[in-house]
Amino acid sequence: DTAVSQTPKYLVTQMGNDKSIKCEQNLGHDTMYWYKQDSKKFLKIMFSYNNKELIINETVPNRFSPKSPDKAHLNLHINSLELGDSAVYFCASSRSRHGYTFGSGTRLTVV
């Protein structure tokens, strides 16, 4: 009974393609997030979203866009993929100011 699930786990794609990563949480949390983890294990916030507010890290290229059909889902859409987008992308959720619950990650490789 996975709390935060993301699909796919692995994604290999060519430069220039458009791809989406899906995320769902069944914890009833009010806020969801996307983080990027680079090869040096550094986790960096990309987006924070609840049903009222989307907060975007200004360093994130506008090729990345979050889409939330409802409170339990926050998908990540990426246009015109570049080699530098290769990383592990983590979805997470939280309730108010409590700690996060992370998904198991999507390993994206752009070739």
Binding residues for other proteins, per CB under 8 A? 4, 31, 33, 40-45, 48-50, 53, 55, 57, 90, 92, 94, 96-105, 107
Nearer to other proteins, 14 or 52 (CB): 52
Supply 107's token pair: 């390993």
Q: What is the 3-state secondary structure (H, E, C) of 36-78?
A: EECCCCCEEEEEEEECCCEEECCCCCCCEEEEEEECCEEEEEE
Nearer to other proteins, 44 or 63 (CB): 44
Calculate Rg over the CA atoms of the chain.
13
Residue 43 Cβ vs other proteins, minimum distance, rounded to whole Å: 4
- Spatial CB neighbours of 31, under 8 Å, sequence gap ≥ 6: 48, 49, 50, 93, 94, 95, 96
Residue 36 Cβ vs other proteins, minimum distance, rounded to whole Å: 11
Nearer to other proteins, 6 or 75 (CB): 6
Residue 75 Cβ vs other proteins, minimum distance, rounded to whole Å: 17
